[in-house]
Amino acid sequence: MTDSVDVLNMLKLVYTLYTLAVISLIGWFSLGVVNPEGKPNIVKSSIFYGYVGALITVGVAIHILTFNKIPWVEIDFKRSSITPAQVVNVTIEDHKFILPSPKIDIKCNEFVLFNVVSNDLTYGFGIFRQNSSMVTQMQVVPGSKNDLMWKFGKNGVYDLRSTEYSGPKGAHMFVKDVFEVSGCSEDDKHSQKGEVK
Amino acid sequence: MSFLKTLIHGHEGGLKTDGLTPTQKVTLRAVIIGVLYYGLSALEGMMMRAHAISPLPMLDDAHYFSVLTVHPIVGIFGSTYLIVFGAFTFLVPYLMKKPLYSIKLANATWILIAVGTLSSWLGGFLFHYAPLYTLYWPLPVDFKQFDAVGGLVFISGIALIMLGTLGFIYNIFATVFYTEDGHEKRAIKPLLISALGIDGMLNILYKLTGREPYAKEPAVALPVVAIFRGTIDTFLDALVILTCGILILVYIVGDLSGVSMSYSAVNALLYKNFFWWGLDLIADGLVLIYIAGSWYLLAMLITGKKLFMQNIARAALLLELIVSWAVWSHHLLADQGQYNMMKLVSGEMVTAFELVTQGIAIFITLVTLWSARPLKMTNELKFLLAGILGFMLAVPAGIIQADMGLNRILHNTQWVAGPHFHVAILVGLTMTLYSAIYILWPTLTNEVKLYSQKLANYHFWAHLIGGIGMGAFMGMAAMDGALRRTLYMNGEFQTYMILAGICGLLLLSAWVVFLVNVLMSIGLQGLLGIFSKSKLQTKDLIPEA
């Protein structure tokens, strides 16, 4: 199952290639525009309209692609109609996570709903691997429903961290080894307990 | 001439401030204060970069986050607003071929923004008031963490900045529409139609239906159209920020007078929507529109030619304005209380149109330049190309994070701060502004010669490499999970942070070199003379030849 590491690795590759291409294009343009041999060129309007069409296609295609390739998008859209196998209720108050138990066991490939309530400020609810990379997150807004439906596909032990600034007192809202996922055929190699960061 | 003499008197005689008109002076004042505030913001940025590499003992959490709070206030309002407003205060009358509506108001504008920025900065520096620029409710009124007096100083500063902004807006609109003394009465309707870019759309429509163009010679020059439209967003943004500021002030005054109010009276999600709608008009509204207008102007001035596909450019600016009103939800893609349909339509689809509108501006500018080749690689041209490069990198980075799938793992990471808005602001926006400064330099200083081209070259390369490099390394850290408002105390992401810190140093050194070059060109005497009263009693923009 695709997870955030796969998605971010792909993004890293694609955006790096794009960056290099764009820098090369501007470099080439800079050399060409001052080339004493260069002649003024008039660009046809058809090229312009083709370019605009390409921009629209790319802008829309990104979202269609991610909708189809990133599993959590559809889950998020349909979460109100999915019955979770497990509900984890979390409260946040005075910059502290109040958890149902110090360690929460989660079964592999089952829907788990994180239902988080803030009693004072806006916080974040982020699940992180042992190597500090992010699995998922949501904002936790007081007075609002903050529900995140998720399915874990790899065994591992995960940390909890606030992903939103809530004042200096919230600078270190971090709880180690809160969630333990088991029962999968594959281990999350970045989130095995005892892994050196 | 010795170094000291040049420093005092300037290069080849430096700036003769007695010959500057009031309009030249007010423009230079705003730009100089803006450049100085940029330096303060860069210093703050470097403090935070150093802290990310190895926690500095002098920066405790409260101090660190107060620096993080004032850093964008100083950078955006104190620096960018002042430089942009200063430049447009000169350019709008220059392009409209008539005097500025009010020089007094222009002076009040830069003073209000400069003082307001200082007040907000003091709120952070003296009182460690640190709700960040996002001001998420109810954090700004959390008096268990923050001193209400600090809040009063900070929010009053923001209010002053917004009042100064309203002064600028009034002056720009009035300059477009007023009829100068001794001139035949200007009709408002054609000016308004042109300033909104409707004539461009009508021209396209008339062409498609085989009719003569609606307006062969538009009443308002294209860059003024961009400034006019961007200023509409500036106005709306100022209203929203002022409203939030007043709300926060009510709570602050309540706390100070012993009448505490329940902050649950304000719905945090609704407030967040309202605030982001307004704040986003800066990032996705006026900046992109002002930038497009600046590129068009720079391309026309550099080439001496008309812009490629003028009508499309005018129409695209109108589209950008409307798009900018409907994109705020991309800031709330991680908010589960936000309706999915709003996330999909406003957060993803309409936001994706920024790729189109900005892409059109890039294409038109580059084609206009290409159509005039061979050109000379002047400072203004190279900074313009770098500015375009900055937005070519930063806008797609923003579109990527404005995706419901990717936002789940990018929201509030250093991706947002690095590849997106620091590259947009430092490389895209700031390098465009430097291009404008270089092209306006002879007009505003009455032909003062630049002290050193070598220093200008260093400024260019250090700023470009530093800006892109810092964004890239922050982005790479984000891929590994680095959040943007979190303190990591155990050496996480340190390699990336060291590399980003080196790039930050390059940026800071670029600013120092630029400042030295400007100072050596105009001289200390010239610098101080800019702030004295003009000896020329004229409304003309530049002195008579």
How near does any CA of chain B get to the CA of A3, in Å?
10
How near does any CA of chain B get to the CA of A113, in Å?
12
Domain boundaries, chain A: 4-69, 82-182
Interface predicted TM-score (ipTM): 0.95
- Locate the chain A residue with the closest alpha carbon to B486: A171
Token pair belonging to B236: 């709306």
Q: Which residues pair with A136 in a beta bridge?
A: A127
How near does any CA of chain A get to the CA of B317, in Å?
15
pLDDT reading at A197 higher than 70: no
Distance CA B7, CA A197 (A): 52
- Looking up tokens 């010679």, which residue turns up? B217
Contact across the interface for A129 and B481, Cβ inside 8 Å = yes
Q: pLDDT tens-digit profile of B334-364?
A: 999 999 999 999 999 999 999 999 999 999 9
Mutation target for B interface from A16, A18, A19: give the one with most B CBs within 10 A: A19
Contact across the interface for B406 and A11, Cβ inside 8 Å = yes
Contact across the interface for B493 and A132, Cβ inside 8 Å = yes
pLDDT reading at A195 higher than 80: no
What residues in B contact A70, CB-CB < 8 Å? 405-406
pTM of the model: 0.94
The pLDDT confidence band at residue A42, using thresholds 50, 70 and 90, is confident
What residues in B contact A148, CB-CB < 8 Å? 336
The pLDDT confidence band at residue B1, using thresholds 50, 70 and 90, is low
Contact across the interface for B139 and A34, Cβ inside 8 Å = no
The pLDDT confidence band at residue A164, using thresholds 50, 70 and 90, is very high
pLDDT reading at B390 higher than 70: yes
Q: Is A64 exposed, middle or buried, given 0-12, 13-18 or 19+ CB atoms closer than 10 A? A: exposed
Which whole number is the average pLDDT over A177-190? 96
Report the sign of the C-alpha dihedral through residues B207, B209, B210, B213, in that order. Answer: negative
Contact across the interface for B419 and A41, Cβ inside 8 Å = no
* Class of CATH domain A82-182: mainly beta
Residue pair B476/A161 in contact (Cβ under 8 Å)? The answer is no
Distance CA B154, CA B156 (A): 5
Write down the pLDDT at residue A194.
Answer: 67
Contact across the interface for A167 and B130, Cβ inside 8 Å = yes
pLDDT reading at B545 higher than 80: no
Mutation target for B interface from A39, A57, A62, A117: give the one with most B CBs within 10 A: A62
What residues in B contact A175, CB-CB < 8 Å? none
Residue pair B433/B373 in contact (Cβ under 8 Å)? The answer is no
The pLDDT confidence band at residue B378, using thresholds 50, 70 and 90, is very high
- Locate the chain A residue with the closest alpha carbon to B272: A141
- Locate the chain B residue with the closest alpha carbon to A41: B371
What residues in B contact A129, CB-CB < 8 Å? 481
* Cβ neighbours for A56, distance < 8 A, ≥ 6 positions apart: B356
- Locate the chain A residue with the closest alpha carbon to B472: A16
Average pLDDT, chain B: 94
Residue pair A142/B268 in contact (Cβ under 8 Å)? The answer is yes
The total of other beta-carbon atoms located within 10 Å of residue B537's CB is 7
Contact across the interface for B381 and A124, Cβ inside 8 Å = no
